[in-house]
């Protein structure tokens, strides 16, 4: 297949691009900056003034992963940038793709979303059939998926990649957490009773490729391991993998005061998401258990 990727230089995009090229696919990376071609990876530069207007080239599939990072203080300006980079950009991109020649338009569109769609749901198991929750992230994901769904106007198969926390040595939350634990500053967040859904970066990339190659997959797809963990267990297992203590904890009030809405919706919310569709259709996880995922990551330097 000839696969276009937005966000190809990000953590997930880079992992997926490497896997796709290693699997024999031709990958076109859309980027705002010049990236030298490597192997079968080619780069097309986006117009800075209109990043939604992808330069036209024949594509079998588009994997759309671009978007402003959710990390940081959620000021009104930050939330506006998040919304614009996800919802508005995706909406404009799908409208632009519809103007392409029918022989060039991708017949498969896999677009990023997140398990934030479900909101905070306590101990409830969450699969792809679960309803939308409340909060900024839930509203964002719903609008984001609706924007990506415009690709169905030209008959594309659309998959919404509801990603959980991705664990990787190269970036994301894991290096930050591991560094804190190495300095004996790690521990549970709040009471530690909130559920955390997670996925190893290898499974993240493999699941995206599996969804791209599997015509049975359409609509929402939870990208998370089959064994979510309570925050207290998550931190204990991380500490054990690093051979460090986990006796500290960060009070919920302190997180709320420091990080505002981000703390409430990303660190203290409880999301017990499971990969219902992937399990049903036979995907086999390389890292189904958290202790195994941490073991594969803790051997490298942080």
- Model pLDDT for residues 282-295, shown as the tens digit of each residue: 999 999 999 999 99
**Would the pLDDT of 253 be above 70?**
no
| 143: confidence class by pLDDT, cuts 50, 70, 90 | very high
Q: What angle do CA 17, 20, 22 make, to 5 degrees?
A: 105
> DSSP secondary-structure letter at 54?
P
| 46: confidence class by pLDDT, cuts 50, 70, 90 | confident
**The pair of three-digit structure tokens given for residue 148, joined into one six-digit string:** 């990506």
Work out the average pLDDT over 147-176. Answer: 95
> DSSP secondary-structure letter at 285?
-
pLDDT at residue number 72: 80
216-220, 241-245, 248-252: range with lowest mean pLDDT: 248-252
> DSSP secondary-structure letter at 38?
B
Q: Give the strand pairing for 229-230 and 195-196.
A: antiparallel
Which of 137, 182, 168, 165 is closest to 234 using CA atoms?
Answer: 165
CATH of 2-233+243-297, one of 2.60.34.10, 3.40.50.1010, 3.40.140.10, 3.40.50.720: 3.40.50.720
**Would the pLDDT of 259 be above 90?**
no
**Would the pLDDT of 246 be above 80?**
no
pLDDT at residue number 258: 60
**Would the pLDDT of 36 be above 60?**
no
| 28: confidence class by pLDDT, cuts 50, 70, 90 | very high
In the chain, % helix, strand, coil (3-state, to 5) comes to 40, 20, 40
Sign of CA dihedral 91, 92, 98, 103: negative
Neighbours of 294 (CB within 10 A): 22
Strand partners, 199: 166
**Would the pLDDT of 252 be above 70?**
no
Q: Give the strand pairing for 187-189 and 125-126.
A: unpaired
Neighbours of 125 (CB within 10 A): 12
> How far is 11 from 67, CA to CA, in rounded Å?
12
Q: What is the mean pLDDT of the chain?
A: 90
**Would the pLDDT of 176 be above 90?**
no
**Would the pLDDT of 225 be above 80?**
yes
Q: Are the C-beta atoms of residues 195 and 271 closer than 8 Å to each other?
A: yes
Work out the average pLDDT over 85-110. Answer: 97
Work out the average pLDDT over 149-160. Answer: 98
- Residues of the chain with pLDDT > 70, as a percent, come to 90
């Amino acid at each position: 297949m000839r696969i276009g990727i937005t966000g190809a230089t990000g953590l997930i995009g880079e992992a997926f691009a490497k896997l796709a090229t290693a699997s024999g696919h031709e990958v076109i990376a859309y980027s705002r900056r010049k990236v030298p071609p490597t192997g079968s990876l080619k780069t097309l530069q986006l117009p800075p003034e209109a990043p939604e207007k992808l330069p036209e080239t024949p594509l079998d599939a588009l994997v759309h992963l671009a978007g402003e990072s959710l990390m940081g203080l959620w000021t009104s300006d930050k939330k506006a940038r998040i919304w614009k980079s996800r919802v508005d950009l995706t909406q404009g991109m799908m409208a632009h793709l519809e103007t392409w020649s029918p022989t060039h338009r991708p017949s498969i569109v896999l677009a990023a979303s997140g398990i934030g769609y479900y909101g905070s749901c306590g101990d409830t198991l969450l699969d792809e059939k679960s309803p939308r929750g409340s909060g900024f992230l839930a509203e964002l994901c719903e609008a984001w998926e609706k924007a990506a769904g415009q690709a169905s106007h030209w008959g594309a198969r659309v998959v919404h990649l509801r990603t959980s926390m991705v664990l990787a040595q190269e970036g994301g939350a894991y290096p930050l957490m591991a560094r804190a634990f190495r300095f004996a500053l790690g521990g549970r967040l709040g009471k530690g009773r909130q559920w955390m859904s997670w996925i190893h970066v290898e499974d993240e990339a493999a699941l995206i490729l599996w969804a791209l190659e599997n015509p049975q997959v359409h609509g929402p797809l939870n990208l998370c391991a089959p064994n979510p963990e309570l925050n207290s267990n998550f931190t204990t297992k991380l500490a054990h993998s690093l051979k460090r203590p986990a006796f500290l904890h960060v009070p919920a009030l302190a997180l709320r005061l420091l990080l505002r809405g981000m703390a409430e919706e990303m660190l203290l919310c409880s999301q017990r998401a499971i990969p219902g569709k992937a399990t049903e259709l036979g995907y086999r996880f390389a890292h189904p258990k958290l202790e195994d995922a941490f073991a594969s990551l803790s051997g490298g330097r942080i």
